[in-house]
């Protein structure tokens, strides 16, 4: 999946392997259908891209639930070990 790949490459711990430039980002599968030049020249509006990639609008398969935030107040990213 292109979105997962780009996130992993942006968050790469090894700085020599991490995506570090806009040129490198442009070459990823995530941006393969984007005309970056048109975006930079503001020939394309964000709403146009949303309509193109999400013609039926946003799709939420889950309903909000308190369960999603059950452990929010005590969630630790690092447990100290």
What is the residue range of 42's domain?
2-57
DSSP state of 67: G
Number of domains in the chain: 1
Could you tell me the pLDDT band of residue 62, with boundaries at 50, 70 and 90?
low
Asked if residue 75 belongs to a domain, the reply is no
Residue 53 located in a structural domain = yes
Q: How far apart are CA 1 and CA 27, in angstroms?
A: 15
Look up the pTM and report it. Answer: 0.49
- Residue 17 CB neighbour total at 10 angstroms: 9
pLDDT at 60: 66
Q: Are 22 and 13 in contact (CB under 8 A)?
A: no
């Amino acid at each position: 999946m292109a979105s997962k790949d780009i996130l992993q490459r942006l968050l790469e711990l090894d700085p020599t392997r991490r995506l570090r430039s806009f040129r490198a980002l442009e070459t990823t599968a995530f941006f393969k259908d984007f005309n970056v030049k048109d975006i930079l020249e503001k020939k394309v509006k964000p709403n146009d891209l949303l309509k193109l990639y999400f013609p039926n609008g946003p799709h939420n398969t889950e309903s909000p639930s308190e369960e999603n935030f059950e452990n929010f107040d005590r969630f630790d990213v690092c447990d100290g070990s």
